[in-house]
Amino acid sequence: MGTSDGKHSYNQLFKKGVDLSEYNTMGVSAKALLFTEITDKYQLTELAETGFFDHENWLLFGGGSNILFKTDLNRPVLHMAITGIEVLNESDKKITVQFGAGEEWHAVVEWAVDRNYGGIENLALIPGTTGAAPIQNIGAYGAELADTFEKLEYYDTEKNVFQTLSKEECRFGYRDSIFKRELKGRAIITTVTLNLAKSEHVVDSSYSSLKSFLEEKEINSPGIRDVFDAVVAVRKSKLPDPSLYGNAGSFFKNPVIDYEIHQKLNEKYPNMPSYRLEDGTFKIPAGWLIDHAGWRGKKVGNVGCYKNQALVIVNHGGATGKEIFEFAMKVQKSVKDQFGIELAPEVNIID
């Protein structure tokens, strides 16, 4: 790190040997060789001028809610902490708002719901930062980020310029975007702009768990706040509080299988839930597969699958990243052996 002629004198911009346990919801203790918080986008250009992005195997993360540190990191770490909320355009029907990438996502949803702005109420309580949301096109209960997305700004660490991408240019898919492919490892998102509804917004409460909650409350014509409250209640009933059990939410993606495989599995497991997609394939809940492979509530050492939702792997206290990873791989193998379906981690494994 650094040279005698001062060309790469960015050491002074970092703290050394920072414990990352408070920066990841898994609660894993891992040390970063070098660590800095990005609170202003022009810190990125300052780093670029030192040659940092050309010479270092850097890592960027936000809320630390979708990562697992397997070991200490012998590399520089950038923590995204750019905040701010700015209204760009407003009409009677909609409002266009720009959010800093370091804003906590759930706080953004609360901000919108408090003002009766519609479009992201179904995405309540998804952990992480706003800048991370477009990377995997976060989604829940029939909604996804792409539904309200307008544009974003990112810093291109190869070209050393700020760029803007539209919704189409982000190439959103199911938990997918250009940031997982062509721009992987080179784009640092700084702001995200959303179009939210001020009027004529139709809420989606079609998911059975949301419908059941609203029916119990005798809410027949739910509004934005009602759907938000339902989502929060349902998620809290299924997911552990990270302050009590370290976790990264859903550890695996819901797999998508073709028609023939679905038919064979449906014959053997007629109660297996599935969702037909537009292209004729079927999405299967990973939690159901893990549960029926016998893992829900099972604990091995300091790691286990949560008792209320098998898809969530929890740190019962003191688990290392390596220990959690090995447990996850056992779950993955078990599901493959029983159902012939290989689960892909939704959590980013960092080593």
Residues with a catalytic annotation lie at 175, 250, 346
Q: Which two tokens stand for residue 213?
A: 């909650």
CA 156 – CA 183 distance, rounded (Å): 8
The backbone torsions φ and ψ at residue 264, rounded to the nearest 5 degrees and listed phi first, read: -65, -45
What does DSSP say about strands 59-61 and 73-80: parallel, antiparallel, or unpaired? parallel
Q: Which two tokens stand for residue 35?
A: 């660590």
User: Which residue from 290, 347, 349, 351 is spatially nearest to 128, judged by alpha carbons?
Assistant: 347
CA 323 – CA 180 distance, rounded (Å): 26
Conformational region of residue 275, where left means phi above 0, alpha means psi within -120 to 50, and beta covers everything else: beta
- CB atoms under 10 Å from CB of 264, counted, come to 12
Q: CB of 34 within 8 A of CB of 252? A: no
Q: With H, G, I as helix, E, B as strand and everything else as coil, classify residue 264.
A: helix
For the chain, report the end-to-end CA distance as a whole number of angstroms: 19
CA 203 – CA 248 distance, rounded (Å): 28
Full 3-state SS string of 192-254: EEEEEECCCCCCCCCCHHHHHHHHHCCCCCCCHHHHHHHHHHHHHHHCCCCCCCEEEEECECC
Q: CB of 126 within 8 A of CB of 25? A: no
